[in-house]
A = this chain, B = another copy of it.
Amino acid sequence: MTNRDARTPASVQDIKSQEAGKSIGWHKAYVEGSRPDIRVPVRQVHLTNGQSVTLYDTSGPYTDPLVETDVRRGLAPLRENWIVARGDTEEYAGRPVRPEDDGIKHTSPRGGLRNLDAVFPGRPRQPRRSRDGKAVTQLAYARRGEITPEMEFVAVRENVSPEVVRDEIAAGRAVLPANVNHPEIEPMIIGKRFLVKVNANIGNSAVTSSIEEEVEKMTWATRWGADTVMDLSTGRNIHTTREWVLRNSPVPIGTVPLYQALEKVDGKAEELTWEIYKDTVIEQAEQGVDYMTVHAGVRLPYVPLTANRKTGIVSRGGSIMAAWCLAHHKESFLYENFEELCEILAAYDVTYSLGDGLRPGSIADANDEAQFAELKTLGELNRIAKRFNVQTMIEGPGHVPMHKIKENIDLQQEICDEAPFYTLGPLTTDVAPAYDHITSGIGAAMIAWWGTAMLCYVTPKEHLGLPNRDDVKTGVITYKIAAHAADLAKGHPGAQEWDDALSDARFEFRWEDQFNLALDPDTAREFHDETLPAEPAKTAHFCSMCGPKFCSMKISQDIRRQHGGSQEEIEEGMAQKSKEFAAAGNRVYLPLAD
């Protein structure tokens, strides 16, 4: 999204790249709202023609040279005053953190944190929750007609009126994930009326990865445009990793509490209980998790529907719940206790992301009975959540061939009263492991065009291994492409200005502007320099595709010079101008030295 000159940056600071003195051509700036503590970050790209383009920015204070950041202290609690001022929450002692929260058993021979330094050293804090009887969710505020600072922040960010934000949230068509215990975030909104958002998954696993890596992946993902981050850690140090991530994250953090609950019962799904699960949800809510994936739609009667699938249940959460249901031959404890869960989430303003535990894991299983049975239950749960003022979005597939994608979003919107749809891809074919960012980027762009509000990224490592730093970047960039392509296709106001600015720069051979406007300026510049490394080439009126002797862009500029003006003038003056063209030497290109 871009909105040239529509906003007044409150502060514009040069950001220099690592290479001394080399400007990277854009600046962190802020747009002020109605009060000085509403400062919405933007990326201000300064063009060589004197114009500037303002882009949505998810990178947080890390790209602001005026802000000192230190991952050991965490980010400043931007929203704290807003939360306190509402007077409807209170601090309390909170649940004591136990060794098993980090996967450590007293009886374990390998007891103790692998790295005791890892305990987050930042400012001491007590958790906060609603005072009794108070409804403290953005949904509750919106329904009461209130416009919170968070809503105004988002309105500035999306370039819409605060009333639109409030109304979309009130109608349940958008969510503003903002746990009262995560004051560090820069508020953002997820809904089809707004810019399409992208989530990046991080998380260590039993096999590999460390706390430091996960925090670094989070800041790296948001630098490239991730709007939210899910911490899907499954190994040890889950609690501590999450604390580090939350305290340093400028974007909402999502989790799947079931993963941690399973660790607490040593991976034995049948030993899970509602109590262990509930305790884990409270633990995470107190830390500040903004939205939680809850697989409450995986009901006992649906499990047999997956028996003859090609790839069964591929959702981890879904298969955990299926295993539990089978082991006990009982209805899911998540489904049975859903109302109590709503009460807990409401107390912290944790947003539901109702998980699609029965999503298809292959082209063959797309849109089948199991998948749509669960979707109907998600619709039912969505209505219950709304009764408790809990903000709710709905997760979607998965692996779906192109001709079956639209049915997914259409059914979801109908069954779930237009609650935001949050999809993983979908992957449009199964045959390209190592390229599933692309197989799924295709499906993601399409389903977002048709109304999906947030896209969960897929990296090149999907199905093969854990993503590294490069994979995270590739996944985020691919999904930003899908999201922006959808914004364009939806005719989102202002979306095309970004494309137009870049195309203008391309047409006018302003190479540096092309790079700085690119989703990934570094790679664009690097690719250009591979073929034409010399600095003068960046201002040359040609590129490596055609070379200096003939350039189609150059010819078009000649045409524009001749034929600019009204259609009438064009018709009248054409013969005359053609003569001039010939008289001027029929120059269809500029010499190299020009």
Q: Is A539 an interface residue (CB 8 A)?
A: no
Contact A531 B316 (CB under 8 A): no
Q: Which residues of B contact A548 (CB under 8 A)?
A: 206-207
Q: Which residues of B contact A507 (CB under 8 A)?
A: 310-312, 361-362
Contact A575 B312 (CB under 8 A): no
Q: Which residues of B contact A564 (CB under 8 A)?
A: 307-308
Q: Is A69 an interface residue (CB 8 A)?
A: no
In angstroms, how far is the closest chain B Cβ from the Cβ of A204?
10
Q: Is A503 an interface residue (CB 8 A)?
A: yes
Q: Is A433 an interface residue (CB 8 A)?
A: yes
Contact B439 A442 (CB under 8 A): no
Contact B555 A323 (CB under 8 A): yes
The residue among A307, A316, A532 with the most chain B CB atoms within 10 A of its own CB is: A307
Contact A517 B484 (CB under 8 A): no
Q: Which residues of B contact A315 (CB under 8 A)?
A: 552
- Which single member of B267, B362, B543, B586 contacts A549 (CB below 8 Å)? B267
Contact A303 B362 (CB under 8 A): no
Q: Which residues of B contact A528 (CB under 8 A)?
A: 464-465
Interface string of A299-316 (1 = CB under 8 A from B): 000011011111111111
Number of copies: 2
Q: Is A430 an interface residue (CB 8 A)?
A: yes
The residue among A549, A556, A564, A588 with the most chain B CB atoms within 10 A of its own CB is: A556
The residue among A498, A559, A575, A589 with the most chain B CB atoms within 10 A of its own CB is: A559
Contact B562 A326 (CB under 8 A): yes
Q: How far is A328 from B465 in the complex, measured between Cα atoms in Å?
A: 61
Q: Which residues of B contact A546 (CB under 8 A)?
A: 205-206, 234, 316
In angstroms, how far is the closest chain B Cβ from the Cβ of A385?
25
- Which single member of B205, B326, B430, B523 contacts A559 (CB below 8 Å)? B326
Q: How far is A207 from B533 in the complex, measured between Cα atoms in Å?
A: 12
Contact B552 A314 (CB under 8 A): yes
Residue in B closest to A300 when the chains form the complex, CB atoms: B574
- Which single member of B234, B520, B589 contacts A432 (CB below 8 Å)? B520
The residue among A206, A306, A314, A503 with the most chain B CB atoms within 10 A of its own CB is: A503
Interface string of A195-213 (1 = CB under 8 A from B): 0000000000111100000
Stretch at the interface among A157-165, A414-422, A577-585: A577-585
Contact B206 A549 (CB under 8 A): yes
Q: Is A403 an interface residue (CB 8 A)?
A: yes
Residues 478-510 of A at the B interface (beta carbon under 8 Å) = 478, 480-482, 484-486, 488-491, 496, 498-500, 502-504, 506-507
Contact B312 A560 (CB under 8 A): yes
Residue in B closest to A267 when the chains form the complex, CB atoms: B549
Given contacts A268-B586, A322-B559, 18 further A-B pairs with CB under 8 A are A269-B586, A270-B588, A307-B565, A307-B570, A310-B500, A311-B503, A312-B557, A314-B553, A327-B586, A329-B574, A401-B485, A402-B486, A431-B502, A431-B517, A432-B477, A434-B520, A435-B478, A463-B506
Given contacts A268-B588, A433-B518, A485-B428, contact A581 B327 (CB under 8 A): yes
Q: How far is A267 from B542 in the complex, measured between Cα atoms in Å?
A: 14
Q: Which residues of B contact A543 (CB under 8 A)?
A: 463-465
In angstroms, how far is the closest chain B Cβ from the Cβ of A516?
11
Q: How far is A304 from B566 in the complex, measured between Cα atoms in Å?
A: 10
Q: How far is A567 from B555 in the complex, measured between Cα atoms in Å?
A: 68
Contact B562 A323 (CB under 8 A): no
6 of the cross-chain contacts (CB-CB < 8 Å) are A267-B589, A304-B559, A320-B555, A402-B488, A465-B532, A466-B544
Q: Which residues of B contact A361 (CB under 8 A)?
A: 503, 506-507
Given contacts A465-B530, A499-B431, contact A402 B489 (CB under 8 A): yes
Q: Is A383 an interface residue (CB 8 A)?
A: no
Q: Which residues of B contact A490 (CB under 8 A)?
A: 403
Q: Is A148 an interface residue (CB 8 A)?
A: no
Residues 117-165 of A at the B interface (beta carbon under 8 Å) = none
B-binding residues in A (CB < 8 A): 205-208, 234-235, 262, 266-270, 303-304, 306-316, 318-320, 322-323, 326-329, 361-364, 401-403, 428-435, 437-439, 441-442, 445-446, 449, 460-461, 463-466, 468, 477-478, 480-482, 484-486, 488-491, 496, 498-500, 502-504, 506-507, 514-515, 517-520, 523-524, 526-528, 530-532, 543-550, 552-553, 555-560, 562-565, 567, 570-571, 574-575, 578-579, 581-582, 586, 588-589
In angstroms, how far is the closest chain B Cβ from the Cβ of A576?
9
Residue in B closest to A573 when the chains form the complex, CB atoms: B304
Contact A435 B588 (CB under 8 A): no
Q: How far is A194 from B460 in the complex, measured between Cα atoms in Å?
A: 29
Given contacts A403-B491, A524-B434, contact A586 B270 (CB under 8 A): yes
**Cβ-closest 6 pairs across A and B:** A312-B556, A206-B547, A465-B531, A307-B563, A362-B503, A319-B552
Contact B442 A485 (CB under 8 A): yes
Contact A466 B531 (CB under 8 A): yes
Q: How far is A314 from B319 in the complex, measured between Cα atoms in Å?
A: 52
Contact B403 A449 (CB under 8 A): yes
Residue in B closest to A268 when the chains form the complex, CB atoms: B586
Contact B481 A432 (CB under 8 A): yes
